[in-house]
Amino acid sequence: MGIALRDFFLVLTAVSFALTFWRWRLSRRFPLHQRQKPSGTPGVTCLKPLKGCDAETKECLRSWLCQDYAGPVQLLFGVASAEDPVCDVVRKLLAEFPAADAELVICPKQLGANAKVSTLQQLEPLVKHPVLMISDADTQVPANFLAEMAPRTAGAGLVNCFYRLANPTTLAMRWEAVAVNADFWTSVLQAIQLKKMDFALGAVMTLPAAELKGIGGFAALADCLADDYQLGHRIAANGRPIDLAPMVVDCWEKPAGWGEVWRHQLRWARTIRFCQPGPFFFSVLNNGGIWVLFLFVSMAAAGGPVWMWAVAAAALGFRIGSAQTQQGRMRGDDRQVGYAWMVPAKDMLDFFIWAAAFWGNRVEWRGERYRVRAGGRLERE
């Protein structure tokens, strides 16, 4: 029995190594950070649904007011309550940039279970321009972002870009940095090798306003947990292509401990499980470290030839090295990332996150608790 289990883990190690190598090859080929010069300067309306603020919020929002873009730009900052502290941050920025076509909009109505989409619904009637950019509050963009992204909407249903966790300031956030800066973006590349992209990445989504109208506006997403996924999925279902640009934006998060990061990752996992149950179930094969660790344990119990120990060590070494390389590519430089031991530790924790995603349907999001129903629909508790 012990030998059979050892050989079973050897097979899974070989499968996960092949998938890890595939993701590494895709990451080397994708033109990440490479500037392109698409032509055109369509008018752009940027929608920023906000709730709360932290030390990084002001600079993240400022980056949208400092764009080097020749076309007209409208910025709509939406917040549910005038008492929200983020309102003071926005007002100071509006005073700093008086020439900007920007305004703070109070969106007090609760239109559906998804509070973010509720804010977007109330901003939608104020849109002036033919191109929309929807971005999270914690997203900071380079000065050329609009110039690179807006023209790409010509002929596209929606344009995505990757994002990175810019400030992993705690040990728990370094775990999340491996998940985001090494594994997430390469898994996306892997997924779109298998089929056309039919989802959106939520940090920044750029699309023609006509495409939003074509799916029924934000009201169609009012009760969806993964509103970004659903937006891209519904646009793709209308036969429109989803594009992936080589730009990278920074996401700045407040310092978080293990509990907060765990809940964040569990929400992501349960979201994916409800949206794509089949791919999520088999995603555990992409866990490049857990099967190697199980193989080591089984060999320690049942024994194993020298070549098997060497294979396991090589697979673990490649997993760590490729994850470190991918984090460096996402960051845009070749400096050492450090915390190499966090890669197998992250894979172990990921395994438990994957398993826990099947054991419930509750998530915590923006300080509120929800039940997730079939199809990823939200229900407030």
How many whole angstroms separate alpha carbon 326 and alpha carbon 83?
41
What tokens appear for 324 in the block? 């470190």
Query: How many Å is the Cα radius of gyration of the chain?
Result: 22
How many whole angstroms separate alpha carbon 51 and alpha carbon 367? 10
**CA pair distance 158, 245, nearest whole angstrom:** 10
- pLDDT tens for the chain, 381 residues: list them: 678 889 999 999 999 999 999 999 999 999 998 887 778 899 999 999 999 888 899 999 999 999 999 999 999 999 999 999 999 999 999 999 999 999 999 999 999 888 899 999 999 999 999 999 999 999 999 999 999 999 999 989 999 999 999 989 899 999 999 999 999 999 999 999 999 999 999 899 999 999 999 999 999 999 888 899 999 999 999 999 999 999 999 999 888 999 999 988 988 898 888 888 888 999 999 999 999 999 999 999 988 899 999 999 999 999 999 999 999 999 887 565 678 899 999 999 999 999 999 987 777 766 667 777 776 777 776
Q: For the chain, which residues make up each domain, given as ranges?
A: 2-29+276-377, 44-274
- Secondary structure of residue 250 in the 3-state scheme: strand
pTM for the model stands at: 0.89
CA distances to 35, 67, 145, 181 from 148, rounded to whole Å, are 8, 11, 5, 22
**Which superfamily does 44-274 belong to?**
Spore Coat Polysaccharide Biosynthesis Protein SpsA; Chain A (3.90.550.10)
Residues 6+ away with beta carbon under 8 Å from 341: none
